[in-house]
Chains A and B, each alone.
Chain A
Amino acid sequence: KAGVTQTPRYLIKTRGQQVTLSCSPISGHRSVSWYQQTPGQGLQFLFEYFSETQRNKGNFPGRFSGRQFSNSRSEMNVSTLELGDSALYLCASSSGLAGSYEQYFGPGTRLTVT
């Protein structure tokens, strides 16, 4: 069974731009969670989607948004990029709500904002 895939793997953007990251969960998994990882803040939860509905949200500004499609694929969008948004963005999938089942992480998208 294929693992979680994320595209693109690397991305360079400039301040003020917006970016969309994509995540394809493991086949059959219905929950997708997004995390931001930076050296200073560690791994921080962004949001979780289950059956196309946002079920949980972390403490990030409204510039960070996401959505999930009927095939469980998910996208996250960051508008008006800031230098501090440079990070590794990780997506994780699980067969049920993330609290109930172990999560499987993708390799991440490394975003650099200049």
Chain B
Amino acid sequence: DAKTTQPPSMDCAEGRAANLPCNHSTISGNEYVYWYRQIHSQGPQYIIHGLKNNETNEMASLIITEDRKSSTLILPHATLRDTAVYYCIVRAYFGNEKLTFGTGTRLTIIP
């Protein structure tokens, strides 16, 4: 019952920007977009979240379309250590609902 759709896999050349898309066409007004990633055999790692404005932190940038029905996570200079499964999740900021992970995008950084 994930609310998001992501491509199952993507490749990106090392040093280039990795752009990971996510569709969330049923997002409601009080729901944020969260991104996590999971490197093989480790627990998921929080990356970034946003509501409607674009957000940037030391790890990535998040671009949310004006209608909020889709977003893109940008890793500006991908390294081999960015190879992971990336999960896009939507949920209310003060909601009581559980965090629902979809199948994510397996990003492979090519040397």
Contacts and interface: CB of A to CB of B under 8 A. Distances in A.
Given A45-B100, A56-B98, A99-B97, A104 B46 contact: yes
Interface in B1-50: 34, 38, 42-46, 49
Contacts of B34: 102
A100 B43 contact: no
Size class of A's contact patch?
Answer: 20 to 34
A55 interface: yes
A99 B46 contact: no
A92 B98 contact: no
Given A48-B98, A97-B96, A102-B49, 6 more contacts: A43-B44, A43-B87, A58-B98, A92-B44, A102-B34, A103-B44
29 contacts: A4-B43, A33-B99, A42-B104, A43-B44, A44-B101, A45-B99, A48-B98, A55-B96, A56-B96, A58-B98, A90-B44, A92-B43, A97-B94, A98-B98, A98-B99, A99-B92, A99-B94, A99-B97, A99-B99, A100-B93, A100-B94, A100-B95, A102-B49, A103-B44, A104-B46, A105-B45, A106-B43, A107-B42, A108-B42
